[in-house]
Structure formats: structure tokens, C-alpha cells
Structure 1
Amino acid sequence: MTDPTDRIRVLHVDDNPEFGELVAVYLEREDDRISVQTAETPDDAVDALDAREIDCVVSDYDMPESNGIEFLETVREEYPGLPFILYTGKGSEEIASDAISAGVTDYLEKESGTSQYAVLANRITNAVEQYRSTRALEASQERLSLFFEQSPLGVVEWTEEFEVARLNEAAEEILGYDEAELRGEPGRKIVSEADREEVSAVVDELLEREGGYHSINENVRKDGERIICEWHNRVVTDDGEVVAIFSQFQDITERRTQLKELERQRAVIESASNTIVTIDDSSVVQSVNPAVEETFGYSPEELIGEPLTTLMGDDVADRHREAFERYLRTGERTLDWEYTEFEARHRDGSPVPVGVTFGEVVYEEEHWFVGILRDISEQRARKQELEWTNGVLSTLLETLPVGVLAESENREVLAANDRIFELFDLPGTPEETVGADCERIAESVSDQFVDPDGFVARINEIVDTDERVEGEELALADERTFVRTHEPIELPDGDGHLWTYRDITEQRVYEERLAALNELAGELIVADSRQEIAEIGVDAARDVLGLDANAIHLYDADRSALVPAAGTEKVFDLVGEPPTFTEGGSIGWRVFESGEALAVDDTHDDPDIYNPESPIRSELLLPIEGYGILMAGSPTPDTFDQEDLVLGQILAGSLVSAFEQIEQMEQRQARERELETQNERLEEFASIVSHDLRNPLNVAEGRVELAKESGELDHLDAVERAHERMNALIDDLLTLARQGEYVSEIAPVRLDAIAGDCWENVATADATLDVRSDRAVLADRSRLQQLFENLMRNAVEHAGDDVTVSVGELADGFYVADDGSGIPADVREDVFDAGYSTSECGTGFGLRIVKQIATAHDWEIAVEEGDDGGARFEITGVSFADE
């Protein structure tokens, strides 16, 4: 017999009682520990939960007056940890996501065949065992708290994300924090930044249970004090599952401080990039750091115990030894201990330029000397390079297109070129200026600038701070603009300054016009019609290129104007009728055909453009590939230059891109609308097939298998009902899928004739037809017949066998009404949804097909209350044949 403690009590909720009974039979067969109680509604299920202990809930998604997600939320309010499995035929990513958000334990889609019940049974047992294990773990954790409180050391409990869960009193005293202040904080909060990487490695090992159980690191108290703590860490497990993570620790700051300081000093010396050597009063090497090998080729072991002459050579070493001895005898420093340069000797015998600084230390009452030796090879190479640079500077000065001035550290002119004399209109020649006072020169030209005093003050500031300056703009009183740069330079006899000045007045004008053109591009991007794009292009030709407002026009390739001329006058008032672009003859046509922009200084050469009475003397013609030509005129000859052509070509290219974007956007929007409609229909069909066909199919399969096993033929009655249900669904689905929202041949169809034919095709019992119009509507006869038959069948199914169905005429359509109980106002919009039905024998797709047929004809359909109180379906937007 099954142990009572192992029994699994399952509550199965499904609005189809036959399917619910079938699931119960198969689950109890799969696992004898499982016992199933069924419920058809969420309310019944809640009562069952209150009446007895349940180990797991299994629920369908689609149910009357509610769904599985809403039921799950109700269960979670009273039973937050109870296993809950959503078992549904209406599967989708959206439903799965909502279920997970609501706290579902598991999610399983209904499938065909009986093997699915084995999967469901397995999911149930796994969920229940997990739930029971969790509750047992909670009891185990209570026992661990005794260890936590009684430990004489500081104890921290961590989460699996290594955040503080709690502290004991000893830990609070060591760290200076209350437990509430650290709870939820990451471990790095109490670790100094220098030790965080090391502690992170210990944490990784600890979480992987591969080590990390002992560590010593620097921690930070609440008051900012840094302390050294020794940590013992442990992962507590139960049957392989992590129950808790604990750390015991103690403050060992005092006994670690001295050792830490010694280690720090040793690390500084060992990691220094310069050679650090210690010698005694006999100039014998006592210690040396690893950097000596990179500079001199010796390992530290090779030099310790050797005389200083090994590195310095005899002459230099003897010089230092004598100086050290004299200092020890008399206290007199005859050697420049601050800094000395000499040629040292590499292990391979090659010379090494070195700079050395010495200092004295007293070690165990002995006088030792510490030297810091720095390789100055690169420094000397840089000096040589600067000397070479200074040598070629004079040659470069005269070839540069900018004004150049080089000055020494004491502000004397070293060199200048002719261009700087031209920019500032200086007297004399560059050669005559060498040696002059640069500060006085700056003052003499300062009145050429908008802010004379600021010009001089800024130069002095740059020199004082030795600031590097790049692209500093200066405004001149005559509306010119200069750009200044300053570069500090190293000279053989000190530092210096290199200045350059460049006139960017014309460049600024061009950049401003380009900026305006960029702004235009932004306007073109958001334009939504060819007309708006053309208008923007005309305005840009006037504003960006600075053209006459009355002489701009954009023409299409078909020789018709796209946009009227800008300004108060029409362009053809100035130049005659719009250009004809005479093929092969006119200048305008040749520009359009060649695709190259052209500036014409005298329009007399082109009969299509020339008008003797026009004040326009020059033309700028810009081809817009595939769209036409932009023509701009000016009353001043020689107005258009190369910059105008470049800007005009950019403008023309922007217009083309904008036109193409409009066309592409319109095509894309059409494709997106078509795809959206297709996706909506596919989603609707998938939902119908997955849910509405799944339940009767499962019932049929299950009952057939039970009939085979038991030999009881009563099961086949349920199979027959399931098949009838599926046949009705499939017929309606085929109608929806094959015909869709399309119609074929439209022709006049009389309402009285089509209504009478359809009445004969519907099982109407004792129902009565009342046709009140003989007008002909324009429609697809076959689709219209489907519409009438479905509405008549709907009336008979819902209003009764003795219903009266009436067909009548509206101002812009017709109606089909009955004298039944009607349709409540709050559900009238829902009746056209696929699968919606209040009848047990209905498929829920008849009115959906009616809606689809109306849409295919571009008609509107609505449900209203009839004159006799029943349902009245009004179809409007209909065209009559006699109109």
C-alpha cells in the first residue's frame, strides 16, 4: 500500500467535465500515489481548496467567467507556495509570460494522444516533491541559527549572491555596523577597494565549493577605519543543496600592520622602473632591485657583493667613493648628490647614458648610500630630435600656408615667415624681426582685433601656463576671422613657443552655408509629400545659395512646373514662359540630359531662358536625376562660383533622396498593412485549431482507448458527439480560410429572391420568414447567400423554432431581424469574435463569417435591438442597383 505521507492530492479544474474525468482516470493510472478531485469552475475549485488539503492544482486556461491566470492569482492570495500547473490547449508566448509573472509553478500545453498524461503526472510529482523539500529546508535553517548566535567570533550569513543576510553581535562590534545597516548589501561594501579582486576570487571558489575557505584581507568599518581580518568561510549543505553560507572572522590588524608596511616598502622597491642600488661606505653593492637587469643586463644576484665600478666604470666609481669617504670624515658634500649624469657600462660592454641621484641611510649604525639610476638614452635622443626639428623649422616656415612665429623662453623672436607679415601687415621682413620682443609685437597689432586688451592678455596667459592651444578663433575688427594654435617646444637652451595664425573668413562663410544645408536635410527627412519636398528645395536654393527670391523654380522632367516661384512675382514674369527644355537645343535640356550642374553667366545664349525684358543676367541650373531641374536666376552677372555648384549638387542629391524615401515609405506601409492583416488571420486560425479543436479531439481519443480496454460501447456516444463537434468547426474554418475577406463578381441581387432561396436551405422548423423589400443590392451572390443563411440559422438556434425572421431595407443597406430574446448590449461587440457562442451546439464562427463577408464588400455590420425586441443585424454602406 502507498504510504499516506507519500499521497499526492490533485485538484483538476476544467470546464469540460468529460475531459476532466478522462484526465483523472489517466493520472491515477500513471501513479498510484495520485488521487484526483475535479472542478468545473474556479469558484468550485476554491471551495474544494478550503474543504480539504490539496498538494497540487492543475487548471485549464479558458473557462466560463474567468481564465486560468485569474484563478492562479486567486489561489496565490491564500496559498502562495502551493504548486499550480497551467494545463491548456490555448498555448502562446503571451499566455506563458503572463502565467510566469503570476507565479505559476509549471506550464504544459495539451496535445493529442494519451502519452501527454504521463508527462502531466511527472510534472505534478516533481512540483509536489520540490514544495515538500522546500518546507523541510526551512526547518533545517532554524537549527543553523543556534550556531550563528553562539559563535564567539564575528559571524556573517550570506545569500547565494553574496549579499549580507544577517550578523551576530560580535560581527557588529568588529565592523561597527548594526545588522539592519548591512542587510542586503554586497560583501564588497566592507572590503577595501585594494582587496576586492582578491576577495572576489575567494567568493568564486567558495560558491563553486572548490576552496576559498580561509582568507586574510583588509576590511572597512562604518567609521572608515581600515582593519585586517582573518576569515573562515563555509558553505552549509543538506543532501547536496546549499542551505546557507557563513563566514567567521576576527580582527588581526595589530599583528599585521608591521608586516604589511614591510611588504609595501619591499613591493615599491621591487616594482620601481629605475635601478635602485644600496652600497656600503666601501662602495660595495649590498642590494639592488630587478630593474637593473633591463637597464644594465645584470641580474641582482650578479651585482650583490660586487664593487660599484661594475656599473659605473673605474673613474666615475672612484669619484663617488672618494666623495663618500670625505663626507664620512668631514660631513662635507663635494659631489652633486642631487643629480649627476655620466656614461655607465652595460653587461655587454656598451655605454649607457645614466642620471643618478644619491642619498644617505643609516642601517644598524652603519652609513650606507642609496642611488637611483635612470637610463637617459631616450631623453638624449629627444634632445637631438628637437635640435634637428629646430634646424628644419626655418625651411618649413616659408612653405606653410599659415602665418608662423617661433619665440624663445624669454619672448624673443626666433623665426617668422612672410605669411604672418601679410596677415598682420607688419613692417620690415622676417629676417629683420629675429630677436625682437614678441610681447611688443603683440601689442602693436592688438588694435586689429575686436578685443585688443583680451588679445594681448590671452597670449600672456598661454605663455605663463605653457598651454597647448588648437583651433582658437579670433574675431577681427574688419570682420575677418583668424584661427590660432600654440605648441610648447623644447629647445637646446630651454623651452619655447610656436604660434600659427590662419585666416578662415571664407571658410566660415562656406561652413555656415553647409550648416544651413544640413538643416535642410533634416527638414527633407520628415517631409511627407512630393509637394512639400519641392517647396523646401525652392526655399533652400534662395536662402542657402543667396539667390534672388523672384527667380527660383523647380520643373519636372515632363516640362510642367512642380512648385510656383518663390517670392511675390512669378518666375515666368521675369524670364517669360517656363522653359521648354527643347531637346538637343536648350542649355536647360543639356543640363538635364548630362546630369551635370552648370552656371551660365549670360542667358542670352539660350532662347528657352532668355527674355529681353528680364533683369536676370545669370542662371544656375541643377539636374535632379529622375525628377527634373532646379533653375535659379540672379540679376548680377558672374554671381555663381564653384562653391555654389558644390552646394547646389548637394541640394539636388538631398532632394532625390527625399523623393525616394517618400516612395519607399509608401511601398513599405502598404506591405506592412498587408502583412499585419495576414498575421492577424493566421493568429486567429492558430488559436481556434489549438483550443477549440483540441478538447473534442482529446475526448474522442481518450474514450476510444477506454472502449478498447473495457469493451463498453457507451464510450462511443461521447466519441460521436466529439466528431460532430469537430465536423461543424472544420466546415466553418474552411469557409473562413478559403474565401476570406474577398469577393469575386459583383452583380445586382434582389433581397426578396435571395432571402427566399436561403430560407429553403436552412432547417427552420416552425419559424416564419417576413421579407419587406424587393430592391436589388450590388453584391457577390454566393457570399451574400452565405451571409443570409448564417443569420437565419443563428436566429433559429438562439430565438427558438417558432421565431419570425424579417428582412427589410435601410437607407444605405438592409437588415435581418428576429422577434426572439435579443442580444444584451454589453456583448453585442463580442458576437462577431471567432469562437463566441452561447449555444451548446453552435461553433461560434457563424457570425464571424457574416462579419468577414460584410468586410469583403466594404460594408459595415452592427447589432441593434429589433422593433419586436429581438436581435437586429444592420448591414450599411451598401450600393443599390437602381441608384
Structure 2
Amino acid sequence: MSGTGEPLFVADGERDRIEVLHVEDDPAFATVARRFLERCDPSLEVTSETDPREALDRLEEESFDCVLCDYDMPGMNGIELLESLRESYPELPFILFTGKGSEEVASDAFSAGATDYFGKSSDASEYEVLAERIATVVEKYRTERQLERSEERYRRLVETAPVAIAVHRGDEIAFANRAAADFLGVDAPAELIGDDPLSYLDTDDRAVARERIARLLADEATMESLEERYVDADGNLKHGLVAGSAVEYGGERAVQVIVRDITEHRERQQELERYRQLVEAMGDGVYALDADGCFEMFNERMVELSGYSREELQGRYAGDVMTEAGLETVEAAIQSLLDGETDSVTVEVQAKRADGEVVPRELTLTLQPTEPGESFAGTVGVVHDITDRVKRERELEAQNERLEAFAEIVSHDLRNPLTVVEGHVELARELAEEGASGEELVPQLEAIADATDRMLSMTGDLLTLSRQGDTVGERHPVALAPLARDVWSTLDTGAATLETRDPGQVEADRTRLEQLLANLLENAVEHGSTDGQSSPDDPVETPADGADEGLTVTVVGTADGFAVTDDGPGVPQEDRDDVFERGYSTEQGTGVGLAIVRTVAEAHGWTVTVGESAAGGARFEFHTDG
């Protein structure tokens, strides 16, 4: 702030900011007005002051572009404040913003020098109009102030201007400043007087240039800026941006030419173009944010990663393309840069695309260079799409979890049947040594066979999980009723029966769905025959035929999927959270069958729950609509 009360003309990157002093004795209304105005126009920065006299003091200490003032206020009304303000700031935009709407008040306001008059309204949309009014009067004020300053400094500017300025009458130079002499490589401006102004152009065809000069001398036209190449007195090639206009000089019509030396700029531009091509060729998104966190520059890859169009991304707040947690991570990273802890920082964030999809990104941040006296100019970032990497990491993590589960099952569940085999083999040997008959050895051999079958079943399940994991192939509509009957026909179901009640069809990988149904139906047959659900610590006897007489397994359609139910003993409430875990089994099962069921369901994007059927048995319900 300058402390003069007059707005300063700032750098182009900050020119749009408008500082507004709102004088309003009602703090609640002032807060509401500030929020609405700043929301309607982000370039507005509103400062509220409830005391009119303190507002005048504040104008002495700080710089504002516009004053927005109420009328009825204690101690000093809006007109009185305006009269006091005009003594020091005759041109500063002043808008009387009041609910006391009358022609008399408006007339007094304009008589006292108010720029505009605006009535308070309960309609929030009116703030959009007010915000536009503020921006309009400030823009006009700034333009007028710039013109005034330009006129005051014009003469001195011409003499000391860093750009080349010359006046000629078409065929000879009549005036040149110091910068013109430097640009054309002579020791003093006087050496240029009398020279043909076109003799320094790097061209053999000067007819077009002379035609432009003739038009300027004939009327009041102004020549649009164009780039020309010059050769100075030492033979050096120079690039200049040229603008011309007709003037009166020494009582005669002449042409004033302003040439800005853009030789270095052109060289930098060529270098920047090479950098731009490199950035555009990168496979990562590259961007620059301003001090407010809005996109200033970005490459095409950044547009693709964001999902926004180039026009939508330009000027957009960076928080729009990140989740709340991602924004917090970035803000913490920027703070570490500002604290000098590092020159660059790399973080993983959850980005949010234009369509709302949340995707993982790796972000490398550095600070933009600052100008003298500037604390923060923004950031430069490189965005790397790590979707595939994160997917691979998750797959590896899931694979590791499966391997751990396999190791646990192999080390525990396979050990039990192996111990059974070893025990019965040893017993059979002892009986054989004692001269037992073959019939007497049958129980040991049957026990060995049962244990071997259990190990083979368990091994098959483990191979299923290890080979296919949680992936599915191409999906097609699959009718559940015939598929369930086909699967049922391959199982040893004993006296159990299968019913289907309009299960409909689902979009699925048929092979994986067969695996799901096979494991689920087999589980129902194996466990539906018990008098109560077993656990590894509570084994039960299984009838020889594999199921009780009358056990019925039903595949039925639901509102959002299908269910498999039975009329067996069901799953106890305390075990329902564990039945899908790998390694959870009774002495009858492998501990993997229901884990396969859940894996296949989740691979399809389904959810599966276990509960109680209407007959008191188990009910496994699949929600296929997400």
C-alpha cells in the first residue's frame, strides 16, 4: 500500500485485482456484502470499515481503487464522508450503496461528486450488477489516471525513453532520441539527422514501407505495430517492433516512429519455442500456477490428464482438479518449499478429473522465481499418471496377501490330513506286521483315501486362486437357472435337491461364474447336513451320502441380483464375518471355497453377504447392481 489513497498501477499479472473499501455501520451486512461481491468477481478484494471517520484515516494509510459507502451512519453520513474524501481524492471512484433510496439522496450524492449510486436489495443477484459496476468505474478511473500521467511524462519520456523514437518527413530524419542512436549504432542522435529513415531497413524492397509513410502523411491514420529487421551502422542485424503515427513537427506534417528493440526478445522467443516443444513432447503434464493457485500455463498432456478443455483449464483454481485430501497434501508440500526445506518436492495425491473420476497422480513441485520484494509467485509442477503403477502395486499387494494365505493354509490345513495319513499308514504297518487281514486294513486305507481327497481338493482350490486371482474375462449375459443346474450335475450332491426360482440373468464371465456357483453349491451340500454350523475347533460327523434327506438348495432372483439359500442348519451369527476368509473351514472343507466365491464376486464388482434363509438355513446374497 502506498499510503496516498491513490491506486498504484501494478504489473500486468496483478492488474485485475480491485481493492474496495466498504464503509457500512452494520457489520453483519458488511460481511454478507463482502462475500457476495468477492464471489461474483474474484478480482474484487473487499475491506469493511464500520466507522466513517476511521474509513477516512484508512484511506490515508492504504490504497484503494474504489469506495463503496452506506448513507445513514452515526456521526457522519455517506454524503458528508464523500465531501471530505473529495478534498484529498477528487477522482477516486465512490459508489453510494444504501437502502435509503430517494431521488434527493441520489441527487445530493452526484452533486457531491459520487461516481455512481446503487440501492441495497434483498435479491442476491443484484450483487452481480454491483460487482460489474465497481469493475467498470475502476477500469475507467485507471484509464483516465494513466492518460493523465502519460501527458505529464510525455516530453521527458521522449527524451529519455528506452525505446527508439524518431521523427521524419518521409525521406530524412528530423529528430531522434538517445535510444534511437544506440539502436542504429551511432554515437549521438545528431548523426542520424538528415538520413533516409529507410536506409537502415534490411530489405531491398522499400516500396511497401514508403507507401505506409505516404498514407500517414496524407491522413490521421496510425500504423499498426509490425516487426521489421534493421542493419545498424556496424552491420549488426537488429529486430524492431515498429509503430508510427502522423504528428506536427516544426510546423510541418511528419511521421513519428517508435521502435522497440526486440532482438534479445526474438532470440529468447526462439529459445523458449525450443523449450515449449520439449515440454509438449513430454509424456507428463507440466503446468505453472500463479500466486492464487490458478493455472497460468500448461502443456497438452496436462489438458488430457485433467479432463478439462484448454479453455476450461486456463485460469481455473488448482483445487478443482484435486480431492480435498490431495489439496491438503499439496499445500503442505508448498509450505515445505517456502520454508526452504528443499528445492523441489514429490508427493502422491488423489486428483479429480472433470468428470469427477478420482485418479492417483505423482506431483513434483518447485517454486516460480520471484521478483524483488515478492514473497511468492506461484508454483511449477510436473504431473505423472501413476494409475498403472498403483494398480500394479495393489495387485502385488493382493498377490502377496494370497501367498501369505496359501502359506498359512499349506502349513496348517494341509498338515492335518498329512498327519492323518502318516498315523494311519503307521497303524496299517503295525497291523500288517501282526498278520492282520486285508479286510482289517480297510478302515486305515479309507481314512488315508479321505485325507488324500481332502488334500487334492484343497490343492485344486489353491491353484484356482493363484492362477486367476481377482480378474474376470469378457462378460456376457448368462442365464442363472440352466447354469446352476449344469454345475449341480457335476457335484456329488447325494440326496440333496436343487430348485431355481426365477433367478434371471447377470452380466458375467461364464467360466468364473461357474466356479462361484460350484464352490457355493458344494459348500451348501457339505455343510447343510450338519446339526449346526461347525468350526475348526468343533468338527461334526458327515453322513455317508453327503447330505441329509430333504436338504434343498435354491437359486433365487432378487431385486438387485440373486441369492443361494438352503434349509440346512445355517451359519451362526458370530461366524458370518469370517466365513469368506481364506483358511476358515470346518474339518469337512478346504478353507478356500468361500474365499473363491468372494473373490469372483468382487472381481465382477458385486458384493456378497451371508445371512439366514426363510427356512432357517444359510442365505448367500449377491448384489450385482453395485
Same fold (TM over 0.5): no
Q: Which has the larger radius of gyration?
A: 1
Q: TM-score, structure 2 length as denominator? A: 0.38
Structure scoring higher RCO (CA < 8 A, sep ≥ 6) equals 2
